[in-house]
Structure 1
Amino acid sequence: MQNLLNQEQMRLADAFTIKDKRITSIELMEDAATAFAGEFLREFSDKEAAIAILCGKGNNGADGLAVARILKDYGYDHLSVYLFDFSAKETEDYKTNLNRLKEMWFPLTTVKTVEELKKISQGVIIDAVLGSGLNKPLSGIYLEVATCINNLNRKVIAIDVPTGFPAEGVLDETYNYIKADLVICFQRPKINFFFPESAGALKRFKTVQIGLDEDFIERQDSPYKLLDEGDIKILVKPREPFTHKGTYGHALLIAGQKKTMGAALLAARACLSGGAGLTTVSIPESGLTALNTSLPEVMYLDRAELNFTEAGFEKFKAIAIGPGLGTGAESKKILEELFKLSVPLIVDADALHLLGDYEDLFKQLPEGSILTPHMKEFDHLFGVHDSWWARLETARDKAVKLNCVIVLKNQYTFIIDQKGKVKINSTGNPAMGQGGMGDVLTGLIASFLAQGYQADQAAYLSCYLHGQSGDDLAKNRVSVTASAVADHVSEVLKRLII
C-alpha cells in the first residue's frame, strides 16, 4: 500500500532525498520535469500542438520552465512561455531554470496584467502558476487569473496540482481553481484528489515517479494509504487441493422485502461469485420462487425460523443485514435480537437507516461490525457534514470509538479500520452509477468474511474487486449493471491469484 503524505511530509521527503542522494534541488526538479514531460508525451503525442506554459515565480513555475525546455528537446516546436510578473520574489530554482531558457534564446512573454492572458490562443495550457503550498482560497490577481484561464475554455494540464487547489484539508465552497483536464502529479497523488469536491478542479490525475526516497516516504506517519493491485495479490488466498465448501465458510444474508427482493438476490449473487462455500439468504417467502429460479445454489431460511440464540447462528461465519430489508417494526426487531448476541455484523442500506433513526439501537452495535454507508447514510448516522474531509475525520473517530470498520462509499471508497487508519480504493468508475451496486458490495464482504478474512481485509478486498470488475466491464460499455459486476468478480479474482 502506498503511504499518502501531506504537503509538509512531501517537502521533508524532497529534503531527505536531496541530502541522501547528494544531489541539488535543481537536479531533483530536473528529474520531476523529465517525468512530467514523459507522461505529457504519452498523453499529447501531437508535437504540432500549440502549447502555452504559464509560470509563476515559485518552484512550481520553475518546474514549468524546466518542462518547457525538455518538451522543446522532445520536438514540440510550438511552445510559448508566459512569465507571471505579479511579485518581485523569485525562488533560486526559478532563476536557474529561467536563465537556462534564456541561453536557448527561448521566446518568453512577461505577463503584468490579467488582460494580457486573454490573448492566449494556444489550444493547450500547462498550469505552473502556483504549487501545492497554498492553504487559503485564491484572491486578488491570482483569482482573476484563474477566472480568466477557465473562461478561455482550453485544455489544461496542471503540474503537480491545479493552481489554487489545496493538497489536503477542507475544500471550502469559496475555493476557486484553475480547472485542469489532467493533473500530472509527483510521486504521490494529493489526498484531496480523492474527494468529490475535487471535481471542481480536475477531471483526472496521473502520478509519475521522480526519484524521491520511497523508504523515507513509507516511514512517515500517515493515516492514509492507497490500495493497489499488488496489495490484493498478496492478500488473496488461492484454493488448495482437498478443500471443499466447508473450507470457505457459510454466509447468511438477511435482506429483501416483497417489493425489494432484487437487493437480496444481488447480494446473494455476489456472495456466490466471491467464493463463499455456502450462502443462505433469509427473505420473505414471497421471494422463494425468484431465489430458486435465479440462484439455485443459494439456500433459503424463512424469516420466522430465525433462531436468535448463539446456537442458531454459530454455523454462520458472516452475517450481513440490510439490503432491501425495509425499515418497519419487523426489521427493527430483527436488528435488536441480533445485537443481543454481540455477533459482528455487516450492516448496510435499510439496517443503517434504522441505526440512524434509533440512537439507543445504534449504541448496541456489536464490536467488530462493518458499516457500509454512502454519503447520505453516513450523515444520517453521524450528523450532517459540510465537506468530505470533515466526513472522513468523523469516520476515523467513530471507527475507533465503535471498534468497527466503516466503508464510506464514494467513487474512491474509504475503508476505515478500528484504529482510524484509512485505505483508499482507487478502482471503480461512473459507469457503475446504477442501482444495486451497494448490494453487490455487501454480498462480497460477507463472502470474504465467511472465508476467514479479517474484517478490514474483507472490506478492502471486496471494494477493490467490486471496482475492478466494473472497470473491466466499462471498457466496452457506457454503463454496467450490478448483476454483471457480481458475475464478473470471480474472473477478476482468478486473474489476481498468484
Structure 2
Amino acid sequence: MRTLLTSAQMRSADQFTIANKPIASIDLMEKAARAFVQSFLRDEFDTNKSVAIFCGKGNNGGDGLAIAHLLIANGYENIKVYIVDFGKKQSDDFAINLQRIEETRCKKTIINAPADLKNIKADLIIDAILGSGLNKPLSGAFEELVQMINKLNKKVYAVDVPTGFFTEGKLPKDYNGIKAYKTICFQRPKINFFFPESATATEKYEVVDIDLDETFIQKQDSGFYLLEESDIEKLLKPRKLFSHKGTYGHVLIIAGNTNTMGAALLSSMACLHTGAGLTTACIPQSGLIALNTTLPEVMALVRDEYTRIENPKKYQAIAIGPGLGTAPENEKLLESLIMAGQALIIDADALNILGERSDLIDKLAPNSVLTPHMKEFDRLFGEHDHWWDRVERAKEQARRLKIVIVLKNQYTFICLPTGKVLVNPTGNPAMAQGGMGDILTGIIAGFVAQKYAATDAAILACYIHGKAGDGLAHEHFVITASQVATRVSKEIKMLISK
C-alpha cells in the first residue's frame, strides 16, 4: 500500500530527493512540469486553444512558468502567463523560470491587484498560484482574484493542488479557493482528495510520478495509506486440493424482515460468491419461499421473537443487520450475541440498534467489524460536521475498541485497531443503488469464514466489492447490487490468478 503524505512530509520528500538522488531543485521542478504537461496534453491535444496560466511567486508558480515553456515547445502558440505579484517574496526556482520564460515569445502580464485582471478570453486556465501547506481560507487580494477566475467559468487545470485547498485537515464548509476541473498532482494524491468536501475544489485528479525517493516516502507515517491491487493479490489464498465445504467455514447471516427480505438475499448471495463453504440465513418464516426459490444453496434458520442462537461458536462468521429491523426482539438477539463474546460483522439495522444501546458498544468483542455509512456512524458516535472529524473519531474508536470500522463513502475508510486508516480506491458512482451495503457485509462475512483475519477480510471485501462495480461500469450506466454479487467470484479469480 502507498503511504499518503501531509504537505510537510511531501516537502521533506522533495528535500530528501534533492539531497540524495542527487538532483538540483530546478531540475526536479522541470521534471514535475514535464509530467504535468504530458497529462495535460492527453486531455487537451488541440494546440489551437488559448491558455492562461496564473503563477504565484513561489515554487507552485515556478511550476506554472516551466509548464508554459513546455507547452510552447509542444506547439501551443496562444499562451499567456499572469504573474500574481501580491507580495515581495519569490522563490529562487521561480526566478530562474521567470528568466527562461522572458527569453521566449510567451506573453506575460503582472497582476499587482485583482483589478488588473481584465478581458481574459482564454479557452483553458492553469492554476499555479499557491501550492500546498495552507491552513486557513484565502482572504484579501488572493480571495478576490480567485473568485474572479472562478466566475470566468473556464475549464481549470490545477498544478498539484487547487489554490486555497487544504491538503489535509478539516476542510472549511465555505470553500473559497479555485474550483478546478482537474488537478494534476505530483507523486501522491492529497489526503483530502478522498474526502467528500473536496468535490467543491476539483472534479477529478490524476497523479503523475516525478521520481521522488519512494523508499523515503514509504517510511513516513501520516496514518493514511492507499490500497493497491498488489496488496489484494498478496492477501488472497488459492484453494487447495482435498479441501471441502468445511474448509471454507460456515456463515450465519441474520437479516431480512417481512418487507425487507431482499437485504438478506443479497448478503447471502454475496457470501456464496465470496466462497464460504456453508451459508445459513436467519430469516423470518415469511421469507422462506423467497430464499429457497432464489438461493437454494443457502440454508435457513427461521427467526421469530424468541429466537436465540444457542451455539454461536459453531459459525466461523456471524453477520447481523441488513434489513433486520429494530424491533425489541432483534435488539435482544443482538445483545445476546454480543454478550456471548464472539466477533461479529455488524451492519444496517444492527448498527441502528447499537446507536440506541451505547452500553453495548463497549462490550463488542475484539475484531468485530462495523460497516456504517455516514448517518449510521453519527448515530453511533455523535454528530460530525466534517468528514475529517468523522474519520478521526472512527480511527480513535477502532483503536479503543480493538475493532475494524469500515466507514463507507465514494472512497471507503477502513479504520484498523492499530490506528491506521486505509483508503479504498475502487468503486464508482454507478454503484449508487440500494443494496450495495448488504453485498459488502456478505463479502466480509465470507472472507472471515475462510479464516481471514478481520482486518484482511475488510480490506479484501472493500477492494473487491468496488472492483466488481468498476468492471461492470464499463458496460452499464447504473449497476445493481445483484450484479455486483454475482461478479465477486470472477474478480477474486482474476486477482488470484495474476
Scaled by the length of structure 1, what TM-score is found? 0.97
Q: 1:462-481, aligned counterparts within 5 Å?
A: 462-481=461-480
Tell me which residue corresponds to 2:169. 169
Q: 1:296-315, aligned counterparts within 5 Å?
A: 296-303=296-303, 308-309=309-310, 312-315=311-314
Q: 1:194-343, aligned counterparts within 5 Å?
A: 194-303=194-303, 308-309=309-310, 312-343=311-342
- Paired with 1:473 and 1:46, the residues of 2 have a C-alpha distance of 32
Tell me which residue corresponds to 2:109. 109
Secondary structure, aligned partner of 1:366:
coil
- Paired with 2:424 and 2:297, the residues of 1 have a C-alpha distance of 30
Tell me which residue corresponds to 1:82. 82
Tell me which residue corresponds to 1:484. 483
The 8 Å contact of residues 189 and 207 in structure 1, kept in 2 or not, is answered as yes
- Paired with 2:19 and 2:351, the residues of 1 have a C-alpha distance of 51
Shift of 1:83: 1.1
Shift of 1:86: 1.7
- Paired with 1:244 and 1:65, the residues of 2 have a C-alpha distance of 64
The 8 Å contact of residues 308 and 341 in structure 1, kept in 2 or not, is answered as no
The 8 Å contact of residues 307 and 313 in structure 1, kept in 2 or not, is answered as no
- Paired with 1:9 and 1:486, the residues of 2 have a C-alpha distance of 40
Greater Cα offset, 6-15 or 357-366: 357-366
Q: Does 1:449 align with 2:448?
A: yes
Q: Alpha-carbon deviations, 1:200-224, whole Å to 9, x = none? A: 1011111011011000001112211
- Paired with 1:421 and 1:352, the residues of 2 have a C-alpha distance of 22
- Paired with 1:8 and 1:126, the residues of 2 have a C-alpha distance of 24
- Paired with 2:362 and 2:398, the residues of 1 have a C-alpha distance of 13
- Paired with 1:235 and 1:420, the residues of 2 have a C-alpha distance of 20
Secondary structure, aligned partner of 2:203:
coil
Shift of 1:476: 2.4
Q: Alpha-carbon deviations, 1:157-206, whole Å to 9, x = none? A: 10000000010000011331100110000000110000000011011111
- Paired with 2:51 and 2:494, the residues of 1 have a C-alpha distance of 41
Greater Cα offset, 296-305 or 329-338: 296-305
The 8 Å contact of residues 281 and 299 in structure 1, kept in 2 or not, is answered as yes
Tell me which residue corresponds to 1:351. 350
Secondary structure, aligned partner of 1:290:
helix
Secondary structure, aligned partner of 1:439:
helix
Secondary structure, aligned partner of 1:332:
helix
**Which residue identity does 1:308 align to in structure 2?**
I
Q: Does 1:437 align with 2:436?
A: yes
**Which residue identity does 2:280 align to in structure 1?**
T
The 8 Å contact of residues 118 and 148 in structure 1, kept in 2 or not, is answered as no
Q: CA 1:447/1:115 → structure 2, altered by over 3 Å: closer, same or farther?
A: same
Q: Alpha-carbon deviations, 1:386-409, whole Å to 9, x = none? A: 111111111111001111000000
**Unaligned residue ranges in structure 2 (runs of 5+):** none
- Paired with 2:251 and 2:113, the residues of 1 have a C-alpha distance of 66
Secondary structure, aligned partner of 1:203:
strand
- Paired with 2:77 and 2:484, the residues of 1 have a C-alpha distance of 46
Greater Cα offset, 359-368 or 223-232: 359-368
Secondary structure, aligned partner of 1:156:
strand
The 8 Å contact of residues 175 and 201 in structure 2, kept in 1 or not, is answered as no
- Paired with 1:158 and 1:148, the residues of 2 have a C-alpha distance of 16
Tell me which residue corresponds to 1:63. 63
Q: Alpha-carbon deviations, 1:444-477, whole Å to 9, x = none? A: 0001111111101100111111111111111222
- Paired with 1:461 and 1:143, the residues of 2 have a C-alpha distance of 43
- Paired with 2:9 and 2:414, the residues of 1 have a C-alpha distance of 23
- Paired with 1:482 and 1:78, the residues of 2 have a C-alpha distance of 49
Shift of 1:105: 3.4
- Paired with 1:116 and 1:427, the residues of 2 have a C-alpha distance of 44
- Paired with 1:235 and 1:71, the residues of 2 have a C-alpha distance of 44
The 8 Å contact of residues 273 and 489 in structure 1, kept in 2 or not, is answered as yes
- Paired with 1:57 and 1:31, the residues of 2 have a C-alpha distance of 19
The 8 Å contact of residues 430 and 477 in structure 2, kept in 1 or not, is answered as yes
Shift of 1:118: 4.3
Secondary structure, aligned partner of 1:419:
coil
Shift of 1:261: 0.6
**Which residue identity does 1:380 align to in structure 2?**
R
Q: Does 1:35 align with 2:35?
A: yes
- Paired with 1:146 and 1:122, the residues of 2 have a C-alpha distance of 16
Q: CA 1:318/1:104 → structure 2, altered by over 3 Å: closer, same or farther?
A: same
- Paired with 1:491 and 1:123, the residues of 2 have a C-alpha distance of 44
**Which residue identity does 1:442 align to in structure 2?**
T
**Which residue identity does 2:271 align to in structure 1?**
C
Secondary structure, aligned partner of 1:301:
strand
Shift of 1:74: 1.7
Greater Cα offset, 314-323 or 360-369: 360-369
The 8 Å contact of residues 118 and 152 in structure 1, kept in 2 or not, is answered as no
- Paired with 2:116 and 2:294, the residues of 1 have a C-alpha distance of 65
% identity of equivalent residues: 57
- Paired with 1:385 and 1:406, the residues of 2 have a C-alpha distance of 16
Q: CA RMSD in A?
A: 1.2
Tell me which residue corresponds to 2:383. 384
Tell me which residue corresponds to 1:398. 397
Shift of 1:307: 5.1
- Paired with 2:211 and 2:205, the residues of 1 have a C-alpha distance of 19
Shift of 1:363: 2.6
Q: 1:176-195, aligned counterparts within 5 Å?
A: 176-195=176-195
- Paired with 2:156 and 2:195, the residues of 1 have a C-alpha distance of 20
**Unaligned residue ranges in structure 1 (runs of 5+):** none
Secondary structure, aligned partner of 2:230:
helix
Shift of 1:114: 2.2
Q: Alpha-carbon deviations, 1:346-405, whole Å to 9, x = none? A: 000000001110122223222220000000000000000111111111111100111100
- Paired with 1:146 and 1:277, the residues of 2 have a C-alpha distance of 58
Q: Alpha-carbon deviations, 1:263-318, whole Å to 9, x = none? A: 11110111111111111110001101000111111111122595534xx2233111
Q: Alpha-carbon deviations, 1:81-108, whole Å to 9, x = none? A: 1111222211111000010111223221
**Which residue identity does 2:56 align to in structure 1?**
G
Shift of 1:80: 1.4
- Paired with 2:70 and 2:314, the residues of 1 have a C-alpha distance of 64
Scaled by the length of structure 2, what TM-score is found? 0.97
Shift of 1:53: 0.9
